Structure 1
Amino acid sequence: MNFDFNENQTMFRDMVRDFARQEIAPIAHEMDVKGEMPDSLVQKMRDQGFFGLSFPEQYGGLGVDTITYALVVEELARISAGVCIMVTVHNSVGLYPVSMFGSEETKQEYLPRMAAGEIAAFCVSEAGAGSDAASLQATARKEGQEYILDGSKMWVTNGTRAAFFVVLARTPGGEGHRGIHAFLVPRDSDGLSVAKKEDKMGLRASDTCVIDFDGVRVPAKNRLGEEGDGFRIGMTALDGGRIGVSFQALGIGRACLEAAVKYGLVREQFGKPIARQPVIGNMIADMGTELDAARLLGYRAAWLKDQGRKYTREAAMAKVFATEAAGRAADAAVQIHGGYGYVKEYDVERYYRDVRVTRIYEGTSEIQRLVIARELLRELG
């Protein structure tokens, strides 16, 4: 088993590390405080190709493999998880439904624009449909060669910036996962609006919105897959998205570990650096061990995806382990900083807030365990 990265992977990692250090780190705290991301940074990321990472080369993207993508995600999240999630949503759940299930006409029309930086968003969750995505109530009524969408979607990352929305909606009167369809909806569609921008605990640089659909007419050619494929399309997209979230959590966890070590070596109590005290050293050891184990789970899922093999269980394992390990790392980092870890002057306070949502979105920890158990019972039962 080869754990070395190839030249291309190393190049991407180092390029992103330098970009994040130079362009994102100086404004990370300010973005968190203001709850917004400057357009100038988004444009710089367009120019550097961040929005075309996972997009096929034939449609203008960079076509990187999943391991390379994971390295990019970890480096971005290490500096700003809010910036990172903008990129990962676009390159995963914004991309996969179109690239895997869109018609060739749809792909030719939209993927080059998305790869160039016209941002995508993913609309599944609703006020009454979170983990139980099959209970969604947004409707898609067919009328001639169009569908008319009505309803409201919550927790939409990139909501204010998105040029395109992947939307799941059902045939009126239907129940369960049957009768759910997937669509690609342009932002300029009449009746589509941003109803609310959420004021969040963490990931404040990223926008999270409520999106309303009021009689939005969508051409039938913008349906992704066949009628009734929507739920399967959404769940397939989330499998890949979970790999990205695991590496986002790893990036935050790694930042926590680095901050804890740096602070622990300069803060002295009882006559020596606290990092040299066994109780603190043990905390640092646990942080490093758990994050390394999580990274290997993530690499396995990414490798399986690149091999075209089934990776549902492995992605769920990577996500639940990485997000929970990173949460423990953030808690330990705050504890090691003591009172300083509780004030905004120190970045670990932001890391603590940012990491919490990784156990919630793109499938809660509880849902990941349901998926893992289902797959294991199917394999071993």
Structure 2
Amino acid sequence: MASITRALRPLTRAAATFPRSIRPAFSRTAPQMRCLSATAPRREIDISEIPPTPISHLSDTEAMMADSVSKFAQDVILPKVRDMDEAESMDPAVVEQLFEQGLMGIEIPEEYGGSGMNFTSAIIAIEELARVDPSVSVLCDVHNTLCNTAILKYGSEKLKKEWLPRLATNTVGSFCLSEPVSGSDAFALATKATRTENGYKINGGKMWITNSVEANFFIVFANLDPSKKYKGITAFIVEKGTPGFSIAKKEKKLGIRASSTCVINFDDVEVPKDNLLGNEFEGYKYAIGLLNEGRIGIAAQMTGLALGAFENAAGYTWNDRKQFGQLIGEFQGMQHQMAQAWTEIQAARAMVYNAARKKEAGEDFVMDAAMAKLFASQVAAKVAGSAVEWMGGMGFVREGLAEKYFRDSKIGAIYEGTSNIQLTTIARHLQKTYTK
């Protein structure tokens, strides 16, 4: 299969694009106008004469990305989904093909070997992958929205030249923030860094680390000066195989089983000076900013999951399962449930794409990202649970994917900020707005 992003590059370079709608949930009909959301950040251009367009519209490049990733997921990933889930392991061939398709370097500029596309294109890819397998989706999500973005935003030119070509073509990234006693309170982390003659030394441990089996590149947050509390946190680049680095335990999980989640230990791990990410004592700011963007990715994973669960069940209820002499999808009670579910999916998707567009436009998107992740995870859990019931016994057995979507949906309310953390973020923004 030819590279998805290579085929889309001529369109990406086009001076103007025409909008198309988010596949396939909205009408394909598009007005002949320039799509605001596909432009450069607003602060860099004059947008006063550009007519606004619905957030449901995609540029030609984005629409082709959706179609291409959907086909890739159906043809390449779907046949392996059940086996990977049962084995609780990611097929290395799937990871290799994600790189071959350009899906691991979506926002990395072409000069570094990446696809040079926009943030919304990454969100589209994450959603389409989750439609088939949320485990593959989160591997791609963390790699793109957290790891690649961290180097693009905060890496020195030396780090960019060293790592971006590898991250775009053959090296999986991992983001190491959480610890056993610092989950939601991420900045209570106990992993410490000390200065040495040649750089730094890291000691401590991390927990719940996504991509840790597949990754060779790790962004590690450690406290360089505990007296400063969270303001002492600093970010470093650590390679797998560095002496003192070890993966201690692979978790056995309820859902997203093919996605590796491990405990990582650091025992006098030497880090050269050049592997400092950004500046000392600014790691907490980097982590906050990266997680705000990453939450849009998790929200897209959840809307993709909800779509996959719905479509899987809808096909069964309107084509196969009969009760009392008719297809169960023809009963009004069932139709009302499905109509409600579809409405909520589209509401969640609108929030996800709005947050992505605001991020691209250079606007404040923090509350939008929190709302999108909160609501999308709620919708995913509700729809995936309902889909099991719509399918009856066939939804409960492991022969199909309904029960897997249901299990996979639970993580959306937990990682990259629990639902309660999102509610707190939203409430703080509201309080700031309405306090006189």
Q: TM-score range by the shorter chain?
A: over 0.9
Deviation digits for residues 119-162 of structure 1, max 9, x if unmatched?
10000000100000110000001122411000110111110111
1:237 paired with 2:303, answer: no
Matches within 5 A, 1:193-342: 193-265=246-318, 266-342=320-396
Task: Report 1:20-39 matches (<5 A).
Answer: 20-39=73-92
- Find the residue that maps to 1:362 and give its secondary structure: coil
- Cα distance in structure 2, aligned partners of 1:360 and 1:271: 42
User: In structure 2, what is the Cα distance between the partners aligned to 1:192 and 1:288?
Assistant: 46
Q: Superposed, which structure 2 residues align to 1:48-197 within 5 Å?
A: 48-171=101-224, 173-174=226-227, 176-197=229-250
2:392 is paired with a residue whose SS is helix
3-state SS in 2 of match to 1:97? helix
CA contact (8 A) 1:243 1:302 kept: yes
Q: CA deviation at 1:225?
A: 2.0
Q: Partner letter of residue 20 of structure 1?
A: A
Q: Structure 1 residue 175: deviation in Å?
A: 5.7
Higher mean C-alpha deviation, range 106-115 or range 286-295: 106-115
C-alpha contact (below 8 Å) 2:250/2:261 kept by paired residues: yes
CA deviation profile, 1:148-199 (whole Å, cap 9, x unmatched): 0001101111101111100110025436311010111111311111111111
- AA of the residue aligned to 1:78: R
Structure with the bigger RCO (C-alpha within 8 Å, sep 6+) is 1
TM-score, normalising length: structure 2:
0.85
Distance 2:88 2:416 in 1: 22
Letter in 2 for 1:186: E
2:226–2:232: 8 Å Cα contact kept in structure 1? no
d(CA) in 1 for partners of 2:227 and 2:254?
35
How far 1:290 sits from its partner (Å)?
0.5
The 1-side partners of 2:226 and 2:343 are apart by 51
Alpha-carbon distance between aligned partners in 1 of 2:425 and 2:225, rounded to the nearest angstrom: 29
Question: 1:66, 1:353 → 2: CA distance?
Answer: 28
User: What is the CA distance between 1:44 and its match in structure 2?
Assistant: 1.7
Task: Give the partner amino acid of 1:229.
Answer: E
Shift, 1:354, TM fit: 0.7
**2:323 and 2:316 mapped to 1: Cα distance?**
12
**CA distance in 2: counterparts of 1:182 and 1:244, whole angstroms:** 22
Matched, 1:370 2:424: yes
Instruction: Please state whether the residue corresponding to 1:181 is helix, strand or coil.
Output: strand
**Alpha-carbon shift at residue 248 of structure 1 (Å):** 0.5
CA distance in 2, matches of 1:107, 1:271: 63
Contact 1:98 1:184 in 2 (8 A): no
Q: In structure 2, what is the Cα distance between the partners aligned to 1:173 and 1:333?
A: 48
Letter in 2 for 1:304: K
Shift of 1:327: 0.6
Superposed CA RMSD in Å reads 1.3
**Residues 105 and 148 in structure 2, CA contact (< 8 A), matched pair in contact too:** no
- Does structure 2 conserve the Cα–Cα contact (< 8 Å) formed by 1:140 and 1:147? yes
| Gapped regions of structure 1 (runs ≥ 5) | none
Q: Please tell me whether the aligned partners of residues 191 and 203 of structure 2 are also in contact (alpha carbons under 8 angstroms).
A: yes
Contact 1:156 1:208 in 2 (8 A): yes
Once the two structures are TM-superposed, the CA of residue 273 in structure 1 deviates from its matched residue by 1.4
Distance 1:172 1:200 in 2: 34
| TM-score (normalizing by structure 1) | 0.97
Question: Identity of counterpart residues, as a percentage?
Answer: 39
Residue of structure 1 equivalent to 2:34: none
Q: AA paired with 1:83?
A: V
Question: CA deviation digits over 1:338-370, x for unaligned, max 9?
Answer: 222211112110000111101100000010011
- Number of matched residues? 381
- Contact 1:52 1:117 (8 Å CA) reproduced: no
Give structure 2 stretches of 5+ with no counterpart.
1-52
**Structure 1 residue runs of 4+, over 6 Å off?**
none
Q: 2:231·2:281 contact (CA, 8 Å) conserved in 1?
A: yes
Farther off after superposition, 184-193 or 228-237: 184-193
**1:335-350 to 2 correspondences below 5 Å:** 335-350=389-404
The 1-side partners of 2:90 and 2:215 are apart by 14
- Assess if the C-alpha contact under 8 Å between 1:164 and 1:186 holds in 2: yes
